[in-house]
Every structure is written in C-alpha cells, then in structure tokens.
Structure 1
Amino acid sequence: MNSKAFKFCAAALLCLAAQARAAGDTVAVLSSASGAYMEAFSAFQAAHGGSIEYFDASREKPVIPPGTRTVVAFGTKAASQAYPDSLDLVYCMAPGFFLDGQARAGKTIKISMRSSPDLLFPKLLQMQPSLKRLWIFWTSPGYATFPEDYGAAGARLELSVKVVKVESAEDLPGLLRKALGKADALWLPPDPLLISPETLMILKEFSWSNGIPLYAATKGLAREGACAAIGISFTECGSAAAAAVRDLQAGTALPGVIFTEKLEITLNASAARHCGLQFPSKILREASYLFP
C-alpha cells in the first residue's frame, strides 16, 4: 500500500470511529415506537449516520446508559421524562410543551413543529393575496408569547394579527362570532389543548359557512377541513433533530427553539371552494399533498 492510499484509509477509519462514538454518545426516547414517532426517529437515525439505541416510553421508563451525552426525545411523553440535567436534551414533536432550559445544566433544544411567522405569513399571503386581517387562536400556556412574536412579524408585512386565547371549547363559538367582519382568515398552531374533534368541527363549520379560510399547522387538520396547512413534516423534525445533535457535539451555540426552514404544504380543494379561495399555481406546485 502506498503512502497516499494508507493516509486515505487511515482518515476513513478515523471518520468511522468518530461516527461510532457520536452514535454511542446519543440515545433516543420515543413516546411510542410506532406511527409518526417512528417515522421521525427513522429520519433522525438516517441523518445522524449511525444506529441509535432507543427506548419506548409507552412501555418502559428509559434508563439512560453511562457515557450518554445527548438524549433526543420524540413526543411530549418522551420529552417530559426525568433525565439527568447534565445531559444535552433535544426534543421534538411536542407542540405546546416547553421545558425550562435555565433549570438544566445541559443544553435544552426544542425543534418546533410550527413554522416561524417570518416564513408562515408570506406563504399565507401567497395563498390569499387579499389577506389583511389574521386571527390566531391558542390555548396551551407555551403559546403565551404569540401576541408579541406574531404581531411583530405581521406588522413587518402590513398584516394585522389578532391573537385570541381560548379558555374552553364552550367559549369558541362566541369568539368566532366576534371575528365576523373583522377577520379575513383564521390560523391554528399545533396546540393539543385547543384542537379536539369538537373544536375542529366548530371551526370548520364557521369557516365553510362564512367563507373565511381556516389555516393550520398540520396535514391532519387540512385533511379534516382546513383550507391549507403549512408546517413541519415528521421526517423534517427528525432531520432537524439530527442537525441539532451534530451542532451540539461540535460546540456550536444554538437557540432554545429551532424553527426549520423546510415547510410542508397541504391543500384541501373542497375547503378552498367553500371559502371562495383559489390557490395560485405556484402554491399548487409547492404542495406536498392536495386533498380533493
């Protein structure tokens, strides 16, 4: 073997060894080892570049092995487990759930399932160029900063944003009546305390009967009657979590909440017709899913 070939092989072995160490430093905890959580974990593992040990929090309490540096949690049940606070924790697929990073010695990074308003609002304006007044409904305490964050982002685009807290499902019809004549569209964050079969039916009927488009953050809500959903796919959540782990291990400073830039667009043609909304060809080309 000549000198150049030897150096190449040595470099390759060092790279593989580094990947193996990184994989061994990291464990995953899934709220359930099935469905969307497994989809996101599979994407995480592929992007991470090595086999990752995982625990199913629906079946067992995770016992973090010695030598672990980073835990990656998929879902609220997984994220809410008691982990040693010296470990770095990356968590995703936990809408409306926030951990206090100041209470932990290790880094605490959330991969958000909602898109940044600076990415969301331009897409909504492309879908609905006449949009001037947007109402946002929320319930989970983690969204308490919505008025400031989303109001400021809307102002930069001359979009009036009203953020409305829904205390209970019984309050929703009255709040929606107040939107008549004052809202051009409604948007729902991925808020598990707000979204239920009951509230979704109320929102859909209001939207369709009054011709006010309803937008959401998840594909499932577009399937159930929202005109469109703009959000983060489960696969993208996993890939973003892998990128965060790599950055942490490289010593890169990260914000407490990461918004990914790759958005998934889902459209519902029936809902759009009820609201008199016609999607531009550019949006149709960008959409990942179009429900009839």
Structure 2
Amino acid sequence: MSFNGCGIILLLLACAVPAAADELVSVLSSRGGAYMEAFSAFQEAYGGEVKSFVLPAQKPVTGPETRVLAAFGGKAASLDYPPELNMVYCMAPGISIKTVPRAGKTVKISMIPAFTEIFSRIKLIQPSIRRLRVFWMAPDFGAHAARIITAGAEYGIDVSVVEVGDSGVLSSRLRESMGLADAFWVPPDPLLLTPENMMMFREFSWANNMPFYGSSKGVTRGGAVASVGVSFADIGAAAAKAAIALNAGDSLPAIVFPEKVELTLNATAAKKCGLTFPKEMLRGAGYLFP
C-alpha cells in the first residue's frame, strides 16, 4: 500500500462518527505500560471512555449491543469472540486472525508504517544502497513478502526476504548475506527479536560494516543504525479511528498502516557502518542514541 493510499484511508477514518459507548468493548493483554499508553490514546481519539477488560484478571464480556471489539496485544487478539462482532486488533506482531468463519469485519493495525515510508528513510540514510535483506520468523510475516519487494523496487532497492527457521541458523543466514546485501532490516517479529539474536545482529553489523535497520526504539537502542516505526500512542489512535469507521459500516483494508512515523537513530551504529545522518533527518528524529 502506498503512503498516499494510507493517508486517504486514515483521513476517511478521522471523519467518521464515534459509536455509543456500550457498542464498543476493548480487551488488553495486560496492564503493561505499552498497552496502557496505546489504550489511553485510543480513548482520546475515540472521544470518550471505552469499556475495557484487562487480562488475565478480567474475563471479557460482550452483550447484544456490542458491535465492535478492540484487542490490544497478542493474548487479547487470540481469544475467541462472537464471530458477528467487528474486530480491530493491534500490537500483535506474529498474529494474523483468519476472517473465515468470522462474519464480522476484521482489521489489523500495523506496528510499522507503510513499507514505502520505511524504504524512503533508509535510502536517505544510505543513498548507495541497492540490495536489502529482510529476515523473519513469525508465521504471518511471509505474507508481506510481495508487498515489501514492490515497495523496495520503488526506491531502486532489490529486496530479498529470507525466512529464518530458528535462531540456531541465524548466524549462517547472516554470513550468507555477505556480498549479497548492502544492509538488512528486521521487522517487529517477537520470535526473531530475542536478546541473543539482537546481540548477533549488532555484532555482525558492526564487524562487517553492514548497516541494519529496525522498526522500534528498542531495536535502535540495541544497535540498529535506525528504526522507522510507529509509537504506541499512534497505534492506539489509529485503532480508535478504525473502530469508529467499522461501527459506521465503512469498508477498510485488512491491514491499516498508521500514517505518523517515529524515527529513531543510533549515532554509534552509524559511525561503525561508515554512515552520516543528514542534518534534516537529525532535526526530525524522535530520538538520537549517542
């Protein structure tokens, strides 16, 4: 999906009218800070208090008046809900809810912006990049391969999407990239982004002068040159707009990419890989790690 297309979708969502409070129910996987930050923004964008249930202490309950359910996190998204409900779920990387046999509409809020937005910033940081390798482990991520390759081509980047069967073969997959890639990118994949794998990514990148990019502040802190992602608050706001639109009967794509981008940079990683951040990018970054 192009950036312009995402902007039009989110503009249409913003113009919709909120549902009555009892028609929308939310379920949070825990009281963790990230979920609470997203839910707070969700309520603000929705325009009022939303009935919520927090796992595992509270069991979600829906009634005949409930039309839309919003789930925050993989545990909340994976529960069985009445199939006639419209459902919005977010902050659930690696989770892909099947639309069949559900009768209600199902929309996922992406944890990353449109792939064209990601590649446009990578190209600004590394103008000479021609080949990019993308690693993944979560079962649902392979479905994005065609979209990623197409987005990369728009910026003259030949993208190869490589599945990592398990962490035991990651080292060999990285070594295979030598001479075949100018950089690599890792998605918000909970199976891939373990502490051990993050250390491996950083050490390989810095030792071989091969930049790597991510999609969250945590990945940048861990040694990526940069991450192009979406804040938890913006994810929550996008989920609210989607919930409002679904209640209004509007059609939405299966995946909505939040429009606002959060860019984080790592000065040490850039220096290790021989890169210099443009001044305009430094001014627009959400955070710069020394």
State TM-score, norm by structure 1.
0.91
Check conservation: 1:140, 1:191, Cα contact below 8 A.
Answer: yes
Contact kept, 8 Å, 2:18 with 2:244, in 1: the verdict is no
Quick check: 37-46 or 99-108, which moved more?
99-108
Higher deviation after alignment, 72-81 or 97-106:
97-106
Shift of 1:271: 1.1
Cα pair distance change 1:287/1:271, threshold 3 Å: same
Partner of 1:185: 183
- Deviation track 1:195-230 (CA, whole Å, cap 9, x = no partner) reads 101111111100011111110011111111111110
Moved more, 161-170 or 148-157: 148-157
Contact kept in structure 1, 2:270 and 2:276, CA below 8 Å? yes
Whole-angstrom CA distance in 1 between matches of 2:205 and 2:113: 22
**1:89 aligns to 2:93 (yes or no):** no
Name the structure 1 match of 2:8: none
Q: Which residue of 2 aligns with 1:291?
A: 289
Among residues 141, 144, 151, which one is paired with 2:142 in the alignment? 144
| CA–CA distance in structure 2, aligned partners of residues 97 and 120 of structure 1 | 21
Q: 2:228 is matched with which residue? A: 230
Inter-partner Cα distance in structure 2 for 1:93 and 1:65: 25
Q: Is the counterpart of residue 119 in structure 1 residue 117 in structure 2? A: yes
**Contact 1:68 1:87 (C-alpha < 8 Å) held by counterparts:** yes
Which of 1 and 2 has higher RCO (CA within 8 Å, sep 6+)? 2
Distance of 1:79 and 1:145 partners within structure 2: 19
Distance in 1 between the 2:273 and 2:18 partners? 53
Number of aligned positions between the proteins: 275
Moved more, 150-159 or 190-199: 150-159
Q: Judging changes above 3 Å, is the alpha-carbon distance between structure 1 residues 168 and 24 closer, same or farther for their aligned structure 2 residues?
A: same
Residue 114 of structure 1 and its aligned partner are, at CA, apart by: 2.0
- Which residue of the other structure, out of 269, 272, 275, is the alignment partner of 2:270? 272
Letter paired with 1:186: F
Aligned partner of 2:59: which letter?
K
2 CA distance for matches of 1:32 and 1:189? Answer: 23
Deviation per residue, 1:255-276 (Å, 9 max, x gap) = 1111112110011111111111
Question: Letter of the aligned partner of 1:226 in structure 2?
Answer: A
- Aligned equivalents of 2:31, 2:186: Cα separation in 1: 27
Q: Is the 8 A contact 1:222 1:228 kept in 2?
A: yes
1:243-288 C-alpha deviation (Å, 9 max, x unpaired): 1011112221101111112110011111111111111112112211
Structure 2: gaps spanning 5 or more residues: 1-16
Give yes or no for contact 2:238–2:258 (8 Å, CA) kept in 1. yes
Moved more, 94-103 or 133-142: 94-103
> What does residue 261 of structure 2 align with?
263
Any stretches of 5+ residues in structure 1 without a counterpart?
Answer: 1-18
SS at structure 1 position matched to 2:100 = helix
Matches within 5 A, 1:11-90: 22-90=20-88
Q: Is the 8 A contact 2:123 2:155 kept in 1?
A: no
Q: Aligned partner of 1:286: which letter?
A: G
**2-side partners of 1:29 and 1:267: how far apart?**
33
The 3-state SS of whatever aligns with 1:102 is: coil
Deviations 1:69-97 (A, max 9, x none): 11100000010111101111100000121
Give 1:10's aligned residue.
Answer: none
Q: Any idea what SS the aligned residue of 2:223 has?
A: coil
1:161 to 149, 152, 159: 159
One-letter code of the match for 2:190?
P
Distance 1:216 1:116, change over 3 A: same
Once the two structures are TM-superposed, the CA of residue 48 in structure 1 deviates from its matched residue by 0.3
How many Å separate the matches in 1 of 2:247 and 2:18?
A: 13
Question: 1:101·1:256 contact (CA, 8 Å) conserved in 2?
Answer: no
Partner Cα separation in structure 1 for residue 30 and residue 74 of structure 2: 10
SS across alignment from 1:243: helix
Q: CA deviation at 1:22?
A: 2.0
Partner AA of 1:47 in structure 2: A
State the alpha-carbon separation in 2 of the partners of residues 250 and 33 from structure 1. Answer: 29
Partners of 1:146 and 1:163 within 8 A in 2: no
Q: Is the 8 A contact 2:113 2:257 kept in 1?
A: yes
Name the CA distance, whole Å, in 2 between partners of 1:234 and 1:261: 13
CA distance in 1, matches of 2:73, 2:240: 15
